[in-house]
Amino acid sequence: MQLHHPQLVDLIKKAYSAEKAAAFAYIGHAASVKDKEEKAAIKQIEIDEWNHRAEVLQIMKHYHIQVSKWYEIKFHVIGKIISGSCFVIGWFMPFYFAGRLESGNVCEYFRMKQYFNSLGITEHDVVLYEMGIKEKEHEVYFLSKIKDSKLLPFFEKLFFWGESSFNNIDLDKKYPVEQSDIYCKHK
């Protein structure tokens, strides 16, 4: 089956490649931290990103969507640069920018779900919902590591993320899959 929804197809291709960039970034981030618990948590987030990439690939195969060579190269380079930079930019910025990135990634999966639903396709609802929620968990983790930093208010003003999120998900009051269309409508 072919998908006749250019925005959805592009979003799927981009998400697939961006998950690799995120995983690469977390390899460097985990290696750059000294605390064993932080290292383990970031390593688990890296594993989550590889798992998301595999899930997105299954969706791509189902609809005969080709991997974008351009996105693969672009996000490969971005991921490697971010990975290496974690060793030189201090402790705060890797946590801040990881949280900011995850905050935006949440809506990618809920938008995919909404696009699929607009085509009458619901078979991916659960996996897309779960990936979106997992990205939110990542965002919350990274924010928890920097929430008391004196740098946070400055970075929040400069980069528009911190106590305010790019998504409207509250993990303490999650909507079930069937009612999750309320998420990310502003995106």
114-132 pLDDT per residue, tens: 999 999 999 999 999 999 9
Please check the confidence at residue 43 and state whether its pLDDT lies above 90: yes
User: Residue 24's Cα: distance from chain center in Å?
Assistant: 13
As given in the structure block, the two tokens for residue 183 are 């998420």
117: burial class by Cβ within 10 Å (0-12, 13-18, 19+)?
A: middle
56-86 pLDDT per residue, tens: 999 999 999 999 999 999 999 999 999 999 9
Q: Which of 18, 33, 31, 27 is nearest to 46 (CA)?
A: 27
Please check the confidence at residue 6 and state whether its pLDDT lies above 90: yes
Domain ranges for the chain: 6-182
16-27 pLDDT per residue, tens: 999 999 999 999
Instruction: Decide: 48 and 30 in contact? Cβ < 8 Å.
Output: no
- 3-class SS of residue 32: helix
Which residues lie closer than 8 Å to 99 by C-beta, 6 or more apart? 138, 139, 141, 142, 143, 146, 161
pLDDT, position 71 = 97
b/e 71-94 (16+ beta carbons within 10 angstroms → b): beeebeebbbebbebbeeeebeeb
CA-CA distance, 34 to 52, in Å (whole number)?
26
Please check the confidence at residue 2 and state whether its pLDDT lies above 80: yes
Instruction: Decide: 110 and 180 in contact? Cβ < 8 Å.
Output: yes
Place of tokens 């490697």: 80
Stretch 132-147: mean pLDDT, rounded?
Answer: 97
Which CATH superfamily includes the segment(s) 6-182? Ferritin, core subunit, four-helix bundle (1.20.1260.10)
pLDDT, position 187 = 45
CA-CA distance, 156 to 12, in Å (whole number)?
29
